[in-house]
Amino acid sequence: MRETYAAPLPGMNLAEMSGKLIVIEGTDGVGRSTQIRLLRPWLEQQGRAVLDTAIKRSELAGKGIQQAKEGHTLGRITLSLFYATDFADRLEHEIVPALRAGFVVLTDRYIYSLIARAIVRGADPRWIRNAYGFALKPDATFYLRIGVDDLIPRVVFSRGFDYWESGMDIHPSEDMYDSFRKYQTELLTEFDNLANEYNFEVIDATPDPRTVFEHLRAGVARVLRGEPREPLFSVVAPPAEPVDAATHKVLEMPAPAKPSTTDQAESAAEDQALTIAVEGDASR
Ligand SMILES: Nc1ncnc2c1ncn2[C@@H]1O[C@H](COP(=O)(O)OP(=O)(O)OP(=O)(O)O)[C@@H](O)[C@H]1O
Ligand SMILES: [Mg+2]
């Protein structure tokens, strides 16, 4: 039987959800989409049905949130509740039915990003956690972790700084760079707190996409095999840079086995998929 963090949505039956709910978390521009574009075909090649979903994709609230952000028409509390509405709609109409049908649900961000953003904007941490109490506990949350110094070039060389991702609503400044650095530093601290609290599986997002994917894929494969997280992964100190680093964990994956001929063929297919994924992003 699935569990929720607090009371489920009224009428939601938590039984018979044989699928897997896998969360990919991480800050703006860290590489979540790139990884999901790699994970999805890899899962489908194994005959798994996959649903991928992300914030703002609900029929009910997706467009409204976009418009509200463009017009800056909502206050911080109402915007948080609008996001919660989007999440509730996708939970009820996409995620739960897909889990019931045995899908692997890959979700690009989950309640944690929404909690982190709200807290950085001054929301009461208890209130915002309670607001998402109806969320299903996922089978695993993989947190792509990066420090702000590694994040900045990644964002600059892809799409540049964006108003909301730079926290311009809370740190209005002439200089978007300063604003981005300040806001993202606060956000990363909050993510690190949540990583501890919700027991995220932390993946170092600083290497190239292929290396990140190998780590992520090993973690997802383990979840699909239904194996427990420990003791497969040793826990080591995280990369030096981000805030509050000493208290957080990074997974060190076992070295990949020597590739067989089949592995090499798969690897060639993945290389191609990777090129498509990364190029696809560069054109954004
Ligand atoms: N491991 C990586 N190393 C270097 N660059 C990367 C890596 N992963 C992704 N990128 C590049 O960083 C940019 C952002 O990647 P992507 O769109 O996947 O991030 P995202 O987390 O989905 O961003 P958003 O928050 O906008 O949804 C892209 O140009 C992508 O090619
Ligand atoms: Mg993305």
Lowest mean pLDDT among 35-39, 96-100, 176-180: 176-180
Mean pLDDT over 186-207 rounds to: 97
Among residues 108, 102, 122, 120, which one has the least CA distance to residue 48?
A: 102
> Furthest-apart CA pair in the chain: how many Å?
57
Residue 7: Cβ within 10 Å count: 10
Strand-strand pairing, 140-145 and 234-236: unpaired
**Domain membership flag for residue 265:** no
Which residues make Cβ contacts (< 8 Å) with residue 92, sequence separation at least 6?
9, 12
Dihedral pair phi/psi, residue 167, rounded to 5°: 60, 30
Number of H helices, E strands in the chain: 10, 7
Determine the structural domain holding residue 233 and report its residue range. Answer: 20-258
pLDDT tens digits, one per residue of 40-59: 999 999 999 999 999 888 88
Mutate to test the pocket of ligand 1, among 34, 151, 213 (most ligand atoms within 8 A of CB): 34
- Give the C-alpha separation, 39 to 15, whole Å: 27
The model's confidence at residue 257, banded by pLDDT at 50, 70 and 90, is very low
Could you tell me the CATH number of the domain that includes residue 141? 3.40.50.300
- Which pLDDT score, from 0 to 100, does residue 263 have? 52
DSSP 80-128: HHHHHHHHHHHIIIIIHHHHHTT-EEEEES-HHHHHHHHHHTT--HHHH
Ligand 1 centroid, distance to 160 Cα (angstroms): 12
Q: What is the 3-state secondary structure (H, E, C) of 2-22?
A: CCECCCCCCCCCCCCCCCEEE
Tokens describing residue 8? 């489920």
Do 90 and 52 touch, CB atoms closer than 8 A?
no
Is residue 78 domain-resident?
Answer: yes
Ligand closest to 184 (CA) is: 1
Q: Is the pLDDT of residue 231 over 60?
A: no
- Length in residues, the chain: 284
Amino acid residing at 28: D
pLDDT score of 76:
85
Q: Is 80 in the pocket of ligand 1 (CB under 6 A)?
A: no
- The answer to whether the beta carbons of residues 54 and 108 sit under 8 Å apart is yes
pLDDT more than 70, % of the chain: 81
Does ligand 1 have an atom closer than 6 angstroms to the CB of 208?
yes
Rounded mean pLDDT, 57-82: 84
Lowest mean pLDDT among 61-70, 121-130, 182-191: 61-70
pLDDT at res. 232: 44
Q: Is residue 233 over pLDDT 80? A: no
88 is a domain residue: yes
| Cβ neighbours for 35, distance < 8 A, ≥ 6 positions apart | 24, 144, 209, 212, 213, 216
| Whether residue 212 has its Cβ less than 6 Å from ligand 1 | yes
**Residue 271: inside a domain, yes or no?**
no
Give pLDDT tens digits for 91-113.
999 999 999 999 999 999 999 99
Q: What is the pLDDT of residue 273?
A: 54
Answer yes or no: is the C-beta of 154 below 6 A from any ligand 1 atom: yes
Residue at 72: amino acid letter = H
The span from the CA of 37 to the CA of 25, in Å, is: 14
> Is the beta carbon of 131 within 6 A of some atom in ligand 1?
no
Nearest CA-CA partner of 133 in 253, 272, 247, 12: 12
What mean pLDDT comes out for the span 209-223?
98
- Atom 29 (ligand 1): residue with closest C-alpha? 158
Of the listed ligands, the closest to the CA of 158 is 1
Chain centre to alpha carbon of residue 209:
15
With 90 as the cut, is the pLDDT of residue 250 above it?
no
Greater confidence (190 vs 269) lies with 190
What was the pLDDT predicted at 267?
54
Number of domain units in the chain: 1
249 pLDDT higher than 50: no
Q: Is 263 inside a domain boundary?
A: no
Place of tokens 């909050």: 190
Atom number, ligand 1, closest to the C-alpha of residue 205: 1
Q: What is the mean pLDDT of residues 58-71?
A: 82
Probe residue for ligand 1, chosen from 27, 28, 33, 278 as the CB with the greatest number of ligand atoms within 8 Å: 33
Between residues 264 and 112, the one the model is more confident about: 112
Q: Does residue 248 belong to any structural domain of this protein? A: yes
Which two tokens mark 257? 């086995």
Look at residue 283 and tell me if it is in a domain. no
The closest residue, in CA terms, to atom 19 on ligand 1 is 31
pLDDT the model gives residue 237: 44
Q: How far from the centroid of its chain's Cα atoms is residue 225's Cα?
A: 21
Q: What is the pLDDT of residues 112-165, one digit of tens each?
A: 999 999 999 999 999 999 999 999 999 999 999 999 999 999 999 898 888 888
- Pick from 29, 24, 55, 18: nearest CA to 217: 24
Within-domain flag for 64? yes
